């Protein structure tokens, strides 16, 4: 498949599909084309000019004509968007020699034209005028481009001779010194993607004046535009629109079975409210700007506000039935705005016959992505169901006891619908769910309002599917015997262990209260660990006092627990929106919950009254989410929402984890197989997947590579998430027209392409210079999730489909994550293969610019559907304690295992958690060979956190994890002690090998060979360790 680019009459190689709808001229005065040059040196745009013959001009020096100079003037109709053309450098280069012309004078530079005098240094022929050169400043992967400032460089004598000089005051008006004229041949862009033709050439002042006089009485005007020319400018009118005027009809050539996209440009001459689009078509249709299906699968619609002077692109999806082949399809798009006349645009589509239909479209695919058919995926409802994914089990409900059972956990409810108890049967090793029952709470959870006595209505359950059950209950709150407040509780339990609560508090009158708070009491023995609300993962603090500070802190959730039972509490309200993360938190932080934060104005300052406290007593840990004193008022309800995540989500599978040996580069599959790896991650900016988060743009090479991996028995996974989107996606410009639904609002700038084509109001993201891939940050939670899930279905389909994805942080919630898992799992089942395989990478986000959010806590809601963690850059593997490793890095308390990244990690400490660095950055072959020789994949893992340990050491800071195999035991030792320690092994009474010799086999890069007799001291250096075999 060719790489997608916008096309027009300005493009040398337009799509091959026939079209009767001819795009407008690329430029009103000159031809347009594509050239080849160094963009980083000269910029993305140039005009090609011709010097027909050389004419001498008198050269002035010290006031006298002394020689000749070949000076030529050219007036370039560049029709620019940038606001101050005179401040930008202009470069002239000779085609013959590639030499840059020094003697160049910009006599005048307006947005309409530029008058330039230059020396024809190589005589007659072609010269290139580069008028938007730029410099790439900032960081390599986060550039901030700027146009080069104009710098007069012409020699003073030459400049004086041609009559206009910044060096000589005034102007010499001598006929013999007047430059001859050069001719503009054409405009050229450095690539199709860079081209300004036809949508980014602006209208001249005289054209605009004529246009506005002619249509002065119109509130708004409609400009149907070919879908191959996506609208870019929002505050300027394309020149051909102004010259040709608005239209009420559009004719195009369609293919049977496609979703045809009609692009309508609306230009507002007055402020417009309530803009809507109604579509009439035999096969249906709608405008994606104003209607569709939201990310939760619900019908969605809105109206638009378009201020005067703004251009708004509208995108109408018209399904073309397969039966329409060889016919004419007619449709009507009716545009309305409050208080304004209706505008109808008649659409006529000439549908080609079956034999002329693009094969990919005829087969049900999307074909060439430049035709924007994939925009229909914004309304996809793929995997919008309440069915199960592995390994989760159907929810078991016992209404009589108000008990709900899920994999390894049970939730007991009070008559109010709030949790009374949470229990777990996960084993202490977290490898099974057949352990003894462990209770989390010391008392039922409750919502308190001082002075309010609650009574509760009937608790009503609804089964929404095997994987979801909901319930509701109405509360009545009385004060002094009188009804003061009502509360509507809605709860939902999903099979993964997520419990979502919506508590809407409705005051019946004015009521002053000291607090509305959530009260939780935990059994101290079950919550020795904590993470969140500013607490790094590790040992739970004795006390905690935390308040809301969303501008600087991405904090709204706290996890408390141990390896085999725990719970995350996240505080929300109805205004919750997922914030940006990974370097962009401050561009879109958390929305402060009005209910829980309770912000009050005090003079010129405001302050929150809400927060969270934690206190530890003898056997109880008390957690209180408070909102502080406030006045409740009738008709001003408050949403005290919260979500609980019951952990661990699933048992860890150490053998399966060791068997999935990752190779993080799409190298030769035969070589990867020979190295011992079993899973290949295909990163973006590589040959099979060059562009970030739209791997379908290179679908053919990706499928060929996946098929080759499968032939060698390897799993093939691709980098694909929604945090940002490549500019190579043809849908990017249309999506930018959806009023920040898809892309986050922001300061703009960044790479020069974004400045020239996206304008402003975006957040610039990752730039991969090796494939010139530029990205824009998305909002995360939007209809883009529908598109994304549908695209994964396409990627995973067939025997050459992908086996999973690599997530580089996550910008969507657990609902989308579950849909992702369903799509990939169902594709693997259809192919008859094991899978899918999903791994999550994140840099350490416990930093100031990321809002001090622990990655594992931030992404805990997605972890049920992830197979492996890779945490990540900036994590400290050397000076942090084992509790930090356990909670913050390993994933084990949540049912996952992981790998290390920063500096390759600490291999000795890593093995205590079953972790290594990732190949090929780390050479894991010696360890992989050791695993194979000892049968480690088939052993039973007992971590140091398991009280039923087979082996431990004599020193509390030298920890041991044991794999029990058919042949004996493998013991991983690692030191967190500050000094070299000499330890002995202590065996559990049930350990059959307690009298055996412990051997340390030679493992290249890890350890030298050694042998230890029973009871013999083993020397362990700080931050290092050993792998021992016993009984082998």
Contact by Cβ (8 Å): 272, 306: yes
Q: Which of 680, 525, 741, 484 is nearest to 618 (CA)?
A: 525
- As a dihedral over the C-alpha atoms of residue 653, residue 654, residue 655, residue 658, rounded to 10 degrees, the angle is 120
What pLDDT score was predicted for residue 581? Answer: 85
Cβ neighbours, 10 Å, residue 188:
25
Length of the chain measured in residues: 1032
Burial class (CB in 10 A: 0-12, 13-18, 19+), 296: middle
Dump the DSSP string for 859-871: TGGGGGG-SEEEE
Question: Strand pairing partners for 1026?
Answer: 973
The pTM for the full model equals 0.94
Token pair in block for residue 716: 């093939």
Largest CA distance in the chain: 110
State the average pLDDT over residues 803-811.
97
Asked if residue 166 has pLDDT above 60, the reply is no
Contact by Cβ (8 Å): 856, 844: no
8-state DSSP, 220 = E
Task: Using the structure block, give the residue that is written with the tokens 């102004």.
Answer: 242
What pLDDT score was predicted for residue 175? Answer: 39
Asked if residue 68 has pLDDT above 70, the reply is no
What pLDDT score was predicted for residue 460? Answer: 98
Peptide bond into 41 cis (omega under 30): no
Peptide bond into 920 cis (omega under 30): yes
Question: CB-based contacts of 572: which residues, under 8 Å, 6+ apart?
Answer: 556, 593, 596, 639, 641, 642, 643
Measured distance CA(980)–CA(985) in Å, rounded: 16
State the average pLDDT over residues 472-488.
97
Residue 13's pLDDT band (cuts 50, 70, 90):
very low
Token pair in block for residue 994: 């307690």
Q: Which of 768, 737, 734 is nearest to 751 (CA)?
A: 768
Q: Which residues of 546-572 are buried (b: 16+ CB within 10 A; e: fewer)?
A: bbbbbeebbbbbbbbbbbbbbbbbbbb
Dump the DSSP string for 441-477: EEEEEEEEETT-EEEE---EEEEEETTEEEEEEEEEE
Cβ neighbours, 10 Å, residue 577:
13
List C-alpha distances in Å: 624 to 184, 503, 873: 74, 16, 34
Each residue's pLDDT tens digit, 554-590: 999 999 999 999 999 999 999 999 998 888 899 899 9
Name the helix (H) or strand (E) containing 575.
none
Measured distance CA(159)–CA(156) in Å, rounded: 5
Residue 636's pLDDT band (cuts 50, 70, 90):
very high
Measured distance CA(609)–CA(627) in Å, rounded: 6
Contact by Cβ (8 Å): 301, 308: no
Question: Which has the higher per-residue pLDDT, 639 or 60?
Answer: 639
What pLDDT score was predicted for residue 177? Answer: 54
What pLDDT score was predicted for residue 22? Answer: 35
Name the helix (H) or strand (E) containing 546.
strand 543-547
Measured distance CA(206)–CA(214) in Å, rounded: 12
What pLDDT score was predicted for residue 287? Answer: 98
List C-alpha distances in Å: 143 to 164, 194, 273, 507, 768: 37, 17, 38, 52, 10
Name the helix (H) or strand (E) containing 854.
none
Asked if residue 66 has pLDDT above 90, the reply is no
Rg over alpha carbons for the chain, rounded to the nearest Å, is 34
Q: Within 13 A of 98's CA, how many CA atoms are on the CB side?
A: 4
Question: Strand pairing partners for 644?
Answer: 499, 569
Q: Which of 1001, 996, 989 is nearest to 1028 (CA)?
A: 1001
Question: Strand pairing partners for 472?
Answer: 460, 490
Each residue's pLDDT tens digit, 866-912: 999 999 899 999 999 999 999 999 999 999 999 999 999 999 999 99
What pLDDT score was predicted for residue 633? Answer: 96
Measured distance CA(357)–CA(511) in Å, rounded: 69
Task: Using the structure block, give the residue that is written with the tokens 């609208």.
Answer: 231
Each residue's pLDDT tens digit, 467-476: 999 999 999 9
Cβ neighbours, 10 Å, residue 463:
12
Handedness of CA 1009, 1013, 1017, 1022 (dihedral sign): positive
List C-alpha distances in Å: 800 to 512, 701, 702, 708: 65, 11, 9, 9
Quote the strand ranges of 723-824, DSSP E: 724-726, 764-768, 773-777, 804-808
Contact by Cβ (8 Å): 67, 152: no
Residue 990's pLDDT band (cuts 50, 70, 90):
low
Token pair in block for residue 441: 């709470």
Dump the DSSP string for 728-755: TSTTHHHHTTSTTSSB------SSHHHH
State the average pLDDT over residues 688-695.
98
Low-confidence winner among 45-59, 382-396, 835-849 (lowest mean pLDDT) = 45-59
Measured distance CA(484)–CA(488) in Å, rounded: 14
State the average pLDDT over residues 158-163.
84
Contact by Cβ (8 Å): 90, 134: no
Question: Which has the higher per-residue pLDDT, 477 or 67?
Answer: 477
Residue 1006's pLDDT band (cuts 50, 70, 90):
very high
What pLDDT score was predicted for residue 993? Answer: 63
What pLDDT score was predicted for residue 603? Answer: 82
State the average pLDDT over residues 841-868.
97
What are the structural domains of the chain? 36-189 (no CATH), 205-379 (2.60.40.10), 396-647 (2.70.98), 724-779 (no CATH), 930-1032 (2.60.40.1180)
Residue 8's pLDDT band (cuts 50, 70, 90):
very low
State the average pLDDT over residues 189-201.
97
Residue 995's pLDDT band (cuts 50, 70, 90):
confident
Token pair in block for residue 647: 């952990």
Dump the DSSP string for 637-661: -EE-EEEEEEE--S---HHHHHHS-
Rounded percentage of the chain residues whose pLDDT exceeds 70: 94
Residue 168's pLDDT band (cuts 50, 70, 90):
very low
Q: Collapse the DSSP code of 190 into the 3-class scheme (helix H, G, I; strand E, B; otherwise coil) and give the result.
A: coil
Each residue's pLDDT tens digit, 918-928: 999 999 999 99
């Amino acid at each position: 498949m060719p790489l997608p680019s916008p096309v027009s009459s300005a493009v040398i190689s337009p799509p091959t599909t026939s079209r009767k709808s001819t795009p407008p001229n690329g430029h009103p005065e000159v031809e347009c084309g594509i050239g080849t040059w160094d963009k980083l040196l000269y910029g993305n745009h140039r005009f090609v000019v011709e010097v027909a013959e050389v004419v001498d001009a008198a050269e002035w020096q010290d006031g006298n004509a002394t020689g000749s100079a070949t000076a030529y003037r050219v007036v370039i109709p560049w029709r620019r968007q940038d606001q101050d053309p005179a401040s930008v450098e202009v470069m002239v280069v000779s085609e013959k020699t590639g030499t840059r012309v020094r003697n160049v004078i910009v006599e005048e530079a307006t947005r309409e034209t530029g008058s330039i005098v230059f020396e024809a240094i190589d005589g007659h022929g072609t010269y290139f005028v580069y008028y938007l050169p730029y410099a790439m400043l900032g960081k390599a992967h986060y550039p901030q481009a700027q146009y080069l400032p104009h710098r007069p460089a012409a020699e003073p004598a030459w400049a004086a001779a041609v009559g206009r000089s910044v060096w000589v005051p005034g102007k010499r008006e001598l006929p013999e010194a007047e430059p001859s004229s050069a001719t503009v041949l054409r405009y050229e862009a450095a690539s199709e993607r860079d081209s300004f033709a036809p949508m980014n050439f602006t209208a001249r002042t005289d054209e605009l004046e004529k246009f506005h006089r002619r249509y002065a009485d119109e509130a708004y005007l409609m400009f149907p535009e070919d879908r191959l020319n996506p609208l870019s400018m929002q505050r300027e009118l394309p020149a051909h629109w102004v010259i040709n005027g608005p239209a009420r009809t559009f004719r195009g050539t369609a293919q049977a079975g496609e979703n045809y996209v009609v692009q309508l440009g609306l230009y507002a001459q007055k402020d417009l409210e309530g803009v809507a689009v109604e579509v009439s078509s035999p096969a249906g249709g709608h405008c994606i700007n104003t209607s569709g299906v939201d990310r939760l699968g619900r019908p969605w619609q809105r109206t638009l506000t378009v201020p005067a002077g703004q251009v708004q692109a509208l995108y109408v999806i018209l399904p073309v039935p397969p039966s329409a082949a060889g016919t004419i399809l007619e449709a009507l798009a009716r545009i309305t705005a409050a208080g304004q006349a209706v505008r109808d645009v008649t659409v006529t589509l000439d549908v080609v016959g079956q034999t002329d239909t693009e094969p990919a479209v005829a087969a049900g695919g999307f074909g060439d992505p430049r035709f924007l058919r994939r925009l229909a995926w914004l309304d996809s409802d793929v995997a919008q169901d309440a069915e199960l994914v592995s390994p989760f089990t159907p929810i078991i409900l016992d209404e009589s006891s108000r008990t709900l059972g899920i994999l390894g956990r049970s939730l007991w409810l009070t008559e109010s619908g709030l949790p009374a108890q949470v229990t777990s049967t996960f084993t202490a090793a977290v490898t099974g769910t057949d352990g003894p029952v462990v209770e989390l709470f010391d008392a039922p959870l409750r919502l308190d309002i001082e002075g309010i006595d609650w009574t509760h209505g009937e608790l009503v359950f609804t089964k929404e599917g095997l994987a979801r059950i909901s319930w509701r209950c109405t509360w009545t709150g009385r004060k002094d015997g009188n009804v003061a407040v009502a509360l509507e509780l809605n709860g939902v339990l999903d099979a993964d262990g997520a419990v979502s609560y919506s508590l809407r508090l409705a005051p019946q009158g004015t009521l002053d209260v000291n607090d509305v708070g959530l009260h939780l009491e935990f059994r101290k023995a079950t919550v020795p660990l904590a993470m969140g609300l500013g607490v790094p993962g590790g040992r739970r603090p004795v006390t905690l006092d935390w308040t809301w500070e969303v501008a600087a802190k991405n904090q709204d959730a706290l996890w408390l627990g141990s390896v085999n039972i725990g719970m995350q509490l996240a505080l929300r309200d109805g205004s919750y929106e997922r914030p940006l993360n990974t370097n962009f938190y401050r561009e879109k932080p958390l929305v402060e919950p009005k209910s829980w934060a309770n912000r009050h104005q005090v003079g010129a300052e405001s302050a929150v009254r809400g927060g969270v406290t934690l206190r530890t007593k003898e056997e109880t840990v008390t957690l209180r989410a408070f909102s502080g004193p406030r006045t409740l008022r009738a008709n001003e309800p408050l949403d005290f929402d919260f979500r609980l995540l019951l952990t661990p989500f699933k048992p860890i599978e150490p053998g399966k984890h060791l068997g999935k040996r990752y190779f993080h580069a799409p190298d030769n599959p035969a070589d990867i197989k020979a190295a011992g790896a079993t899973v290949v991650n295909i990163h973006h900016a590589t040959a099979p997947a060059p562009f970030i988060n739209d791997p379908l743009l290179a679908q053919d090479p990706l499928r060929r590579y996946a098929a080759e991996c499968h032939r060698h028995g390897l799993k093939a996974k691709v980098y694909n998430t929604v945090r940002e989107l490549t500019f190579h996606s043809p849908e990017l410009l249309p999506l930018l027209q959806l009023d920040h639904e898809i892309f986050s609002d922001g300061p703009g700038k960044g790479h020069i392409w974004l400045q020239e084509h996206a304008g402003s109001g975006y957040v610039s993201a990752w730039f991969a210079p090796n494939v010139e891939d530029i990205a824009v940050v998305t909002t995360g939670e939007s209809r883009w999730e529908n598109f994304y899930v549908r695209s994964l279905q396409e990627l995973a389909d067939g025997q050459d489909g992908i086996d999973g994805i690599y997530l580089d942080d996550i910008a969507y919630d657990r609902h989308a994550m579950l849909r992702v898992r369903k799509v990939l799992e169902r594709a693997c089942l259809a192919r008859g293969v094991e899978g899918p395989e999903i791994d999550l990478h994140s840099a350490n986000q416990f930093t100031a610019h990321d809002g001090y959010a622990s990655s594992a806590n931030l992404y805990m809601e997605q972890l049920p559907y992830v197979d492996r963690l890779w945490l990540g850059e900036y994590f400290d593997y050397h000076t942090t304690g084992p509790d930090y490793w356990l909670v913050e890095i390993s994933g084990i308390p949540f049912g996952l295992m992981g790998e290390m990244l920063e500096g390759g990690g600490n291999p000795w400490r890593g093995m205590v958690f079953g972790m290594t660095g990732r190949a090929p950055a780390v050479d894991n072959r010696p360890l992989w060979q050791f695993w194979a020789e000892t049968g480690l994949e088939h052993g039973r893992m007992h971590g140091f956190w398991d009280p039923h340990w087979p082996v431990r050491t004599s020193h509390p800071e030298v920890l041991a994890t044991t794999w029990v195999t058919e042949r004996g035991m493998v013991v991983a030792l690692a030191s967190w002690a500050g000094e070299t320690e000499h330890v002995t092994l202590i065996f559990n009474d049930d350990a059959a090998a307690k009298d055996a010799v412990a051997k340390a086999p030679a493992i290249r890069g890890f350890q030298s060979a050694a042998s230890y007799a029973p009871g013999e001291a083993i020397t362990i250096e700080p931050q290092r360790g050993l792998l021992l075999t016993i009984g082998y």
